[in-house]
Structure 1
Amino acid sequence: MSTEGLSIGIRVGAGRTGERANLIRPVRLRRETWMPLVVDATAIMLAGLDVWLVIPEKAQPYSLYLSALACLALAFRRWLPFVVVLATVPGFLTGWSQLAAMIALGMLATRKQTHWQVWLGAALVWAGRFIQWPLPDFAQLSWREHAIDAIYGVLVAGMPIAIGLLIGARAELAQRLGELAVSREAERRLRDDAVRAEERARLAREMHDMVSHDITLIAMQAGALAVTPGTDDAQRTAQVIRQLSTRTLEDLRSLVGLLRSGAGDEGPQPGIGELGQLVRDSEVRVRLSLEKVPEQLPRNVSAAAYRTVQECLTNVRKHAPGAAATVLVVGGENTLTVEVSNDRPRSPAAPLPSGGHGLTGLAERARLLGGGFDTEPTEDGGFRVRATYPVEVVGNKPTTNGQEMAHP
């Protein structure tokens, strides 16, 4: 928390990805809306062009009407594929709507695959290609011409079915691949959970076997020193050491229990309600101010606010001896802001071990909660930390403004 500390500034932009997705999604929706219309219009135009190119000059009016009806019926092929196939057969039999009948049969095969409607539709389309209209002309054809018409009928009816079955198989394959990807993702999560559980158990064993033993010895030695005749300052210092080591041991045991159970943050954690006790137990002159703090806060947000103040006061004690600190907790519109600042140190800081991970951990915690985290030196030689967390404001509770709390 001193000016020599590492300044960390993190701006969380978690909402930008969601905003970008919201900008893209309407474009995709509009594409899904107009793309089928374009495809249907193109199919109708191609079917109509096919009729117009092959129609003779002296055509019967009913054949023209039935061919036009077959082309227009393609507009409903997505909703009534079998009915559309039936509507195109008369135009194909008595007229020239061959392409319309093939398009309708292809859509039916895509939707129904090997359903009986597909085979009935294929038989009708084959009959429309095999039978010549009018029937007296069909009866006069030779057997060779009948054989050729039968072969071409198989091609005309078989090609749309083959394409429809291929499209359906591709869609089914894509669905199976999606299900396989989901299954693999679930398997990967289970494997990761197992690895994390094993790592938590290993960390719990090491923390219990190594750290817990040393802290217990510290508490015992401090207790013995407190009852040993000596100066009052030495006894008070020993009592403080014993209290801090005992509390640290309790926290460590609670953490080991959480690691073994894998419950994460589900266990009891201190929150904003314990800030007063935290300030009283700190060896720093602290001015604590709570303004418009909601009555009910999410447990993870309350715990994050507590940990932020705890880490900052620890840094003040370590890196800014003699400095006074100010803790300001303000509830805003769907936000909770925690600001901790200190003035310049009154004496040089003693060299203490520090990995620089405290502020980084606070910034990571704020990022995971969707908030923000900033640090900066102040003009008077101090340091300031500000964390913001998103919350849902339920109500306000009485606040403590300008409350002086200092360690005795």
Structure 2
Amino acid sequence: MTSRRLPTPLLDAALIGAALLDVWVHVRTDEPLRMACALAAALALLLRRRLSLLAFLLTLPAVLVSDAIFAALAALYTLASLTRRRVLLVACAMAFTISDMTSWPAPNLGLPDTSTLITMVYSAATAAAPVFLGQLVQARRDLSLRIAEISEAHDHEQLLIAQTVLAKERATLAREMHDVVSHQVSLIAVRAGALQVGTRDAEVKDAAATIRRLSVQTLDELRHMVSVLRDSGSRLTELTPQPSLADLQRLVSSSGIEADLKTDLPDGLTPTVQRAIYRTVQEALTNTRKHAPGATARVLIRHDDGSILVTITNTAPTRPALPLPSAHHGLVGLRQRAALLGGTVTSGPTADGGYELHLELPANSTP
């Protein structure tokens, strides 16, 4: 629950209005000296926030010559809520008490009696009330600031704990990738190299060379990924050298399937859009190679009325697909990437037994 406070100008106007009402009640119009002092005290409240001590001192003459004391009490409260000088507050309270007890211009200089003592105690209590209230408000304000500092420190501590946990998880993941995945991909590259050297079949030699090249490329990306994970967020690093449209032809040529690429795109597309197009084509060709052996593919990329349209279509497979492991996260990731850029991804089988993947993105998309 948040506290609702009056705006500062409205609060100042209300205090000055109350002080003027106090003047109207306690000071007659035929007493020019008292009226001038009382009005000056009321207007002195305009200075209470910036020059609180001066504002209080300007209200004392009104207390000395009249019963209009509201302005002095308001100024004393403001001074107590802003200053940390306790001796000054005691002196100001004593000054108010003495001024309130003095009947100027005819002060009573006789010996103190019971009524005088009672009046002094009453005046001192009247002066102490705004002092204590102002100090209470100051303590509450300090406590609120302290609580805010503690809360901020707690949030920072939680952030550090979360970053530490994340760093440990990233280090564990980097270790697993280095010890397991990199080792297995290295074996694939070595076996492919041995097959490339040991066979005389040109087709097998070409396939082995492709496998070896892709394995080496994957190893390079894995090593870079491991180094990024081990950094644990200590510095800003790209996960891999990010692909662009200039890499599309090489991607299609090295996909391991017969594919045709046609592009009609303007210059100046953002790196984010180029990366989304590349990853979409990469995922579609990978799925074709895995799930539609022997199929051919066609990649059509064009620009139409401010939108980028990417369509990858493959024919029906000519032989059964091998049972390869898959988490089925590829298309989900493509849809999420497209949604972040304001686009859509649709996919589904074609009438001839093939499959089609369609991406539509705004040409000026930014992450």
Q: State the TM-score, normalizing by the size of structure 2.
A: 0.81
Q: Which residue of 2 aligns with 1:23?
A: none
Q: Which residue of 2 aligns with 1:82?
A: 53
Distance 1:305 1:44 in 2: 69
Letter of the structure 2 residue corresponding to residue 61 of structure 1: P
Question: Is the CA contact 2:334–2:345 (under 8 Å) kept in the aligned structure 1?
Answer: no
Q: Which residue of 2 aligns with 1:395?
A: none
Q: Which residue of 2 aligns with 1:353?
A: 325
Q: Are the structure 2 counterparts of residues 86 and 244 from structure 1 closer, same or farther at C-alpha, using a change threshold of 3 Å? A: same
Deviations 1:228-277 (A, max 9, x none): 33543222222222221221122112211221222576045223254443
For residues 5-44 of structure 1, what are the structure 2 equivalents within 5 Å? 35-44=7-16
CA positional deviation for 1:366? 6.8
Percent of aligned pairs sharing the same letter: 34
Q: Are the structure 2 counterparts of residues 104 and 377 from structure 1 closer, same or farther at C-alpha, using a change threshold of 3 Å? A: same
- Look at both structures and tell me which one has the larger radius of gyration over its CA atoms: 2
CA positional deviation for 1:63? 0.8
Which of 7, 10, 21 is 1:49 aligned to?
A: 21
**Greater alpha carbon shift after TM alignment, 314-323 vs 190-199:** 314-323
Letter of the structure 2 residue corresponding to residue 109 of structure 1: A
CA positional deviation for 1:142? 4.9
Q: Which has the higher contact order (CA 8 A, sep 6+)?
A: 1
Q: Which residue of 1 aligns with 2:298?
A: 324
CA positional deviation for 1:108? 1.1
Which of 110, 127, 141 is 1:171 aligned to?
A: 141
Distance 1:87 1:366 in 2: 70
User: Counterpart of 1:240 in 2: which secondary structure?
Assistant: helix
Question: Is the CA contact 1:316–1:325 (under 8 Å) kept in the aligned structure 2?
Answer: no
Q: Which residue of 1 aligns with 2:254?
A: 281
Q: Are the structure 2 counterparts of residues 149 and 309 from structure 1 closer, same or farther at C-alpha, using a change threshold of 3 Å? A: farther
Distance 1:352 1:99 in 2: 88
Q: Which residue of 2 aligns with 1:222?
A: 192
Question: Is the CA contact 1:376–1:385 (under 8 Å) kept in the aligned structure 2?
Answer: yes
Q: Which residue of 2 aligns with 1:114?
A: 85
For residues 117-128 of structure 1, what are the structure 2 equivalents within 5 Å? 117-128=88-99
Number of aligned residue pairs: 350
CA positional deviation for 1:153? 1.9
Q: Are the structure 2 counterparts of residues 359 and 132 from structure 1 closer, same or farther at C-alpha, using a change threshold of 3 Å? A: farther
User: Counterpart of 2:346 in 1: which secondary structure?
Assistant: strand
Distance 2:324 2:120 in 1: 95
Question: Is the CA contact 1:271–1:305 (under 8 Å) kept in the aligned structure 2?
Answer: no
For residues 2-401 of structure 1, what are the structure 2 equivalents within 5 Å? 35-55=7-27, 60-114=31-85, 117-136=88-107, 138-139=108-109, 142-263=112-233, 266-267=237-238, 268-272=240-244, 273-282=246-255, 283=257, 284-293=259-268, 306-318=278-290, 321-327=295-301, 339-343=309-313, 345-347=315-317, 350=321, 352-362=324-334, 371-377=341-347, 382-387=356-361
**Any unmatched runs of 5+ in structure 2?**
none
CA positional deviation for 1:40? 0.8
Distance 1:108 1:195 in 2: 50
Distance 2:106 2:70 in 1: 22
Q: Are the structure 2 counterparts of residues 152 and 371 from structure 1 closer, same or farther at C-alpha, using a change threshold of 3 Å? A: farther
User: Counterpart of 2:140 in 1: which secondary structure?
Assistant: helix
CA-based RMSD: 3.4
Question: Is the CA contact 1:375–1:385 (under 8 Å) kept in the aligned structure 2?
Answer: yes
Question: Is the CA contact 1:126–1:157 (under 8 Å) kept in the aligned structure 2?
Answer: yes
Q: Are the structure 2 counterparts of residues 62 and 372 from structure 1 closer, same or farther at C-alpha, using a change threshold of 3 Å? A: same
User: Counterpart of 2:345 in 1: which secondary structure?
Assistant: strand
Q: Are the structure 2 counterparts of residues 127 and 185 from structure 1 closer, same or farther at C-alpha, using a change threshold of 3 Å? A: same
Deviations 1:142-185 (A, max 9, x none): 52122112212221211111111111111111212222222222
Q: Are the structure 2 counterparts of residues 97 and 386 from structure 1 closer, same or farther at C-alpha, using a change threshold of 3 Å? A: farther
Question: Is the CA contact 2:342–2:365 (under 8 Å) kept in the aligned structure 1?
Answer: no
Question: Is the CA contact 2:74–2:130 (under 8 Å) kept in the aligned structure 1?
Answer: yes
**Any unmatched runs of 5+ in structure 1?**
1-30, 393-408
Q: Are the structure 2 counterparts of residues 339 and 252 from structure 1 closer, same or farther at C-alpha, using a change threshold of 3 Å? A: farther
User: Counterpart of 1:291 in 2: which secondary structure?
Assistant: coil
Distance 1:304 1:115 in 2: 68
Question: Is the CA contact 1:325–1:341 (under 8 Å) kept in the aligned structure 2?
Answer: yes
Q: Are the structure 2 counterparts of residues 311 and 105 from structure 1 closer, same or farther at C-alpha, using a change threshold of 3 Å? A: farther
Q: State the TM-score, normalizing by the size of structure 1.
A: 0.74
Question: Is the CA contact 2:338–2:344 (under 8 Å) kept in the aligned structure 1?
Answer: no
